[in-house]
């Protein structure tokens, strides 16, 4: 086994992710660890809290050898589209094995459940539950009648194996036992959930904005030589330095030491997403888009565009979601629909993504161990220069390229610090080589 793939989001990177990479390094020391990572938007249907460039760097510092971006059309998809797109990329890159977090490390059990997913009897029961108004995930859990699917990552793991059986039968699997709840809102010292860490970082913003009403800066961003009030500037610097120390102290127990300083600086500089800005965008577009137009976007079906338009008149996006949510339309699905609207992803484009595979693999970061692997031949282009990429791609690939660029631009526009909101950062980025 020369290469192990890890399908991930690292939203953001924390000790649980480092544990998986460390375990793989101990058990398979010779194998390269290649991360297929969501880019600017993630499967929960919103921008990742940090840029893909920062998250890729942290992945390398946390134990990965190579980080490849999963195109937005797949990273935003349902569990089935997300898993299928990622597995088809794993095959195109000739990766030997796949490791994923799971609530059980019993591979035989996982494969057995997966094989039942496409049985005619399971599909018949599945359709019955969906027709009764259940969401896809809930219907599958009930149709398969297994408690394991009540846990958050289980369905994704099964979708990886399901896609592997179809598109990459020779792929090996290395499940790593999860020791934390993916959606637990409370911080645990060893392996926090991504949800808890995002909540902590968002709460940090409140304290930061008490120091500066407009944006968040470290002491290096403040020019004390031109200040008209040196005493006030000194006081602000003292508060900001104290805040930086507090942020670092909180992060040190839940993210690897190798990235704690870097993540502290990113947070202090406001280079992370203000989700209020993003959902204001979605709310605005929802009000200005007609029901006829809404119908063309991904996952808008069964006339929900009429309820969506009506709910969009609510004063806050939270109230909009509460008005639309149902057993059939979960928050995750509604958030994906909002992202499809924001990024202009229509049903026909999603259908093309389902029928085809990712048209390229974009290199984000690598280390010394990964350098040799980059010289291999692959089934799809390995993109290192974003501006030149369209020349290597077919029409679908060029559309994926445009969507990825827009996703990064939208995410940047949502950052706390207005100085960081520059567009077209994809074109200025060179894959990070981390020794």
| 186 labeled part of a ligand binding site | no
Whole-number Å distance between alpha carbons of 199 and 215:
19
Running DSSP on this structure, what letter comes out for residue 153?
Answer: T
| 15 labeled part of a ligand binding site | yes
Within the chain, what is the greatest distance between any pair of CA atoms? 76
**156: enclosing H helix or E strand:** helix 154-167
Whole-number Å distance between alpha carbons of 364 and 368:
14
Q: What is the DSSP pairing of strand 361-366 with strand 432-433?
A: parallel
| 178 labeled part of a ligand binding site | yes
SS3 track for 29-66: CCCEEEEEEECCEECCCEECCCCHHHHHHHHHHCCCCE
**102: enclosing H helix or E strand:** strand 97-102
What SS3 state is found at 89? helix
Whole-number Å distance between alpha carbons of 57 and 367:
10
What SS3 state is found at 355? helix
Q: Which residues pair with 202 in a beta bridge?
A: none
| 10 labeled part of a ligand binding site | yes
Structure tokens belonging to residue 9: 């989001």
What SS3 state is found at 295? coil
Task: Name the residue among 402, 388, 421, 365 with its Cα closest to residue 52.
Answer: 365
| 12 labeled part of a ligand binding site | yes
From residue 131, how far is each of 123, 128, 295, 305, 358 by CA, in Å? 12, 5, 20, 19, 31
Running DSSP on this structure, what letter comes out for residue 298?
Answer: T
Inter-residue contact 434 to 298 (CB < 8 Å): no
| 28 labeled part of a ligand binding site | no
Inter-residue contact 412 to 422 (CB < 8 Å): yes
Which residue, chain included where needed, has tokens 């994906």?
336
Whole-number Å distance between alpha carbons of 366 and 363:
8
| 167 labeled part of a ligand binding site | no
Q: What is the DSSP pairing of strand 66-70 with strand 32-38?
A: parallel
| 11 labeled part of a ligand binding site | yes
Q: Which residues pair with 47 in a beta bridge?
A: 41
| 210 labeled part of a ligand binding site | no
| 198 labeled part of a ligand binding site | no
Whole-number Å distance between alpha carbons of 400 and 393:
10
| 27 labeled part of a ligand binding site | no
Helix 257-268 vs helix 194-211: angle between axes, to the nearest 10 degrees?
A: 40
- Residues annotated within the binding site for ATP are 7-20, 101, 153, 178
- Residues annotated within the binding site are 7-20, 101, 153, 178
């Amino acid at each position: 086994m020369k290469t192990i793939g890890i399908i991930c989001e690292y939203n953001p990177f924390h000790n649980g992710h480092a544990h998986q990479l460390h375990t793989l390094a101990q058990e398979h020391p010779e194998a390269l660890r290649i991360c297929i990572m969501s880019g600017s938007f993630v499967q929960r249907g919103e921008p990742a809290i940090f840029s893909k460039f920062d998250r890729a760097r942290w992945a390398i510092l946390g134990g990965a050898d190579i980080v490849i971006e999963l195109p937005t059309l797949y990273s935003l998809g349902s569990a089935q589209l997300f898993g299928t797109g990622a597995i088809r990329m794993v095959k195109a890159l000739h990766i030997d094995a796949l490791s994923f977090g799971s609530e059980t490390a019993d591979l035989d059990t996982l494969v057995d459940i997966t094989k039942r997913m496409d049985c005619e009897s399971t599909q018949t029961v599945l359709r019955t539950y969906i027709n009764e108004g259940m969401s896809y995930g809930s219907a599958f859990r009930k149709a398969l009648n297994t408690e394991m699917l009540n846990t958050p990552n289980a369905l994704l793991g099964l979708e990886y194996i399901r896609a592997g059986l179809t598109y990459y039968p020779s792929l090996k699997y290395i499940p790593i036992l999860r020791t934390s709840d993916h959606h637990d809102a409370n911080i645990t010292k060893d392996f926090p959930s991504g949800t808890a860490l995002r909540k902590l970082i968002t709460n940090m913003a409140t304290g930061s904005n008490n120091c500066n009403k407009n944006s968040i800066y470290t002491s290096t961003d403040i020019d004390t030589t031109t200040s008209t009030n040196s005493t006030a500037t000194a006081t602000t610097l003292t508060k900001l330095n104290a805040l930086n120390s507090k942020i670092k102290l909180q992060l040190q127990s839940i993210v690897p030491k190798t990235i704690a300083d870097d993540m502290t600086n990113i947070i202090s500089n406001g280079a992370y997403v203000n989700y209020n800005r993003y959902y204001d965008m979605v709310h605005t577009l929802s009000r200005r888009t007609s029901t006829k137009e809404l119908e063309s976007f991904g996952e808008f079906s069964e006339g929900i565009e009429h309820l969506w338009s009506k709910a969009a008149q609510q004063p806050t996006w939270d109230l909009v979601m509460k008005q639309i949510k149902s057993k059939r339309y979960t928050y995750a699905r509604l958030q994906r629909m909002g992202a499809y609207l924001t990024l202009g992803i229509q049903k026909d484009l999603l259908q093309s993504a389902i029928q085809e595979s990712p048209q390229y693999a974009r290199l984000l970061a690598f280390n010394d161990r990964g350098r040799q692997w980059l010289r291999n031949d692959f089934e799809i282009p390995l993109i290192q220069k974003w501006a030149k990429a369209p020349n290597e791609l077919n029409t679908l690939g060029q559309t994926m390229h445009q969507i990825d660029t827009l996703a990064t631009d939208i995410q940047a526009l949502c950052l706390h610090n207005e100085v960081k909101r520059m567009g077209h950062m994809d074109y200025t980025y060179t894959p990070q080589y981390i020794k």
